[in-house]
Amino acid sequence: MGKSFKELFPLLSEMLKGEKICETVYEIWKNDRWFDFSGFSKTADYCAERLRKAGLEVEVLEVPADGRTKFGDWVMPEAWDVEDATLELIEPEEHRRILARYKEIPQSLIMHSAPTPKEGVEAEIVYVEDADKPESYEGLDLKGKIILTDKPAPSVEPYAIEHGAIGIASYKYGGHGVKAPSESVAWENACFLPCNANKLFGFSLSPETGTWLKNLVLELAAKDAKVKVKAIVKSKLYRGSFKVVSALIPGITEEEIWAIGHLYEPGANDNASGSGAMIEVAEGIKRLIEEGKLPKPKRGLRFIFTFECYGTMAYMLRHRGIESRVVAGINADMIGGNQEKCKSMLRICENPHVSLSFTDALAIGLARDILGEDVKWRISSYILDDNLIADPCFGIPTPSIIGIPDRFWHTSKDTPKILDRNLLFKTSCFIASYMLFIAYASLEDAIWLLEETYRLVESKVLKEASRIISAIHSLREEGRDDLRKSLIRMVMEFQSKLSCWREVGDNALKSVLRLASTEEEASSLREALDSVRERLDSRMRTEEEAVNGFIDRLVKIKGLGKIILESKLSGEEEIASGIVPERLIVGTLTFKDLPEDLRRECRWEPAYSSSLNIPLFWIDGRRSLLEIHRHVVNEVGKFDLKELIRYFRFLEKAGYVILKRKHIKNRGTSRVGSISSSL
């Protein structure tokens, strides 16, 4: 970039102020905290108006919210508004009390709850232990009753419907990776989707209140007595819409860099913080350009304020083809929570391996420079979010900055009180620096990024070599045959991973070519790329030789004799090697619109699941399922091949993929190419 980060930082410090970012976060939160669609509309209008006033080119996309419209596999949720809701314990009279009230704690009402009659409904509340398991309902009469559970409401919903319950009261703990305080109320937003056809309602209680209520229910049940509650839900389910706001600072070319963050959740940190920071970054950059402190960018800067995943899929498919102009993205989610209060850590989440690119090296480098040692952060693997645009269906490499674990995630405690102004300043600087670096990237910047990308891939290869050597050193098998088998298995695994990293690393290095603005720059980059690819190949051979040398020495010490690394394919491997999948649907999967017969058969929940969507990312119409499995194992760790075959057969049955049969000439050959080496 024409300006190094150190030269840019004073400008960022001038345009971004932690206190101002907090104010913008509050303006978003004060509507979204009620998490209904009328509030969502106000939030979108606020964002759009701020950005219009700043001089950005604003588009507001209206997306149907009707429980029917699909974008890819994402069914848009039915619109929902709320006036108020209460859950009151009415019997026994001596224990009469309000258990939950939406106007006091909005998270007390489960999102998409159906309305009750105006006067409310009175019903017995019944505690069901392990309410997410079908056997827990044997012998229970729940018709017209409310289920009390400590399980997440979505896992109980199917059984509530099946057994005629009218509602659910869940007192599950909130928090992501860290248990929330027992007095906090968890926000449940994944229930009654995509539309509440059975007209159930639900309340969320704090674990403190829920445990007290459970004990009361069980105590009275032992005396053949009942606990009754009165529920009043003043809500409305309807066919409406939600808005996705897009704002552009145009560049010299049609190419764009994106920042994407979601609105429409009740948390100040999740995710008013990400969206608020994006508004401040957009306004600040626009102001610096207008004041002549920054030149017009080579590439445009687009800021997208979306409904998490739903809106992103809608935006991409309503703007099909726009992805060809997008060089890179950055996803901002939960970036402002005080780390001590939230017990959190920022993660710089890389792209999925299939899309690993220079953007990952840049994000990690900027995190070191900007976040430094004052902020707790780490590099993390892919976590599916609005960075679903990194799916090769769209092909936009998009690292994420996200603060997890977090004890206040999806709870009533996620309010402006937990925000950290200094952290918001730093994370906003990170977003701005990432976008500006790529927007202005010169040939020199691209060559520097090529080197950084090489070092990123090299570090992963070194880590894998170190891991395998440590694992081999830790082997404790007493028998020579067991030790020999373990060595063969581990070396085969290492060679499989090395093969994957050759492909992933090569693609990551080639991604830098996207930054060439002219044919002359492309030629210079290709020349540099050839040199770096040779270095990476040499480095991988060196590490492979180092591992082989270590094993050779171990074999001699143990007196194991000659070890031949040759292994025939197992039965599952032969089956997988003969299957070549092709995708039939764009984007990540949710399974929210499966027919009833397939729903009963289904054992997977792919919505927001990285591990269940990454296998689809590797489908290119040429790779066999065995090759896909190797890449998946390299990326997510263990993934049983038999289970993957079952999963893909289900995907074919459900119409998500076609499984083409591939003729294998030499069945029973080696697992990793044609390995047959001796040590």
Name the more confident of 6 and 177.
177
Phi, psi of 451 (to 5 degrees): -65, -45
Residue 518, both tokens? 């002219």
More confident residue, 195 or 2: 195
Which stretch of 449-453, 490-494, 600-604 has the lowest confidence by average pLDDT? 490-494
Q: In this predicted model, what pLDDT tens digit does every residue of 70-125 receive, in sequence order?
A: 999 999 999 999 999 999 999 999 999 999 999 999 999 999 999 999 999 999 99
Give strand pairing partners of 262: 306
Region 150-170: mean pLDDT is: 98
Asked whether the CA dihedral 333, 365, 438, 392 is positive or negative, the reply is negative
Predicted pLDDT at 672 = 43
N-to-C CA span, the chain: 49
pLDDT of 649 strictly over 50: yes
Confidence of residue 478 (pLDDT cuts 50, 70, 90): low
**Averaged pLDDT, 8-32:** 93
**Would you say 542 and 458 are in contact if contact means Cβ atoms under 8 Å apart?**
no
Number of H helices, E strands in the chain: 18, 21
Instruction: Return the pLDDT at 482.
Output: 81
Quote the CA–CA distance of 334 and 407 in Å, as a whole number.
12
Residue 559 is classified by DSSP as T
pLDDT value at 667 more than 70: no
Q: Which domains does the chain have, with CATH numbers?
A: 5-76+241-441 (3.40.630.10), 79-236 (3.50.30.30), 444-564 (1.10.132), 571-661 (no CATH)
**How does residue 318 score in pLDDT terms, banded at 50, 70 and 90?**
very high
Two structure tokens written together for 131: 């309410």
Instruction: Give per-residue pLDDT as tens, 555-605.
Output: 888 777 777 666 688 899 999 999 999 999 999 999 999 999 999 999 999
User: What was the pLDDT predicted at 560?
Assistant: 76
Residue 666 has pLDDT above 70, yes or no: no
| Residues in Cβ contact with 260 at an 8 Å cutoff, skipping those fewer than 6 apart | 303, 304, 306, 312, 329, 330, 331, 332, 386, 387, 389, 398
Query: Residue 12 and residue 101: Cα distance in Å, rounded?
Result: 43
pLDDT of residue 671: 47
The predicted-structure confidence for 256-306, as pLDDT tens digits, reads as follows 999 999 999 999 999 999 999 999 999 999 999 999 999 999 999 999 999
pLDDT at 394 over 50: yes
Q: How many CB atoms lie within 10 A of CB 663?
A: 6
For residue 449, give the nearest of 562, 324, 364 by alpha carbon.
364
Over residues 383-409, the mean pLDDT reads: 98
H helical segments located in 173-254: 207-221
In this prediction, what percent of the chain has a pLDDT beyond 70?
95
Whether residue 675 has pLDDT greater than 50: no
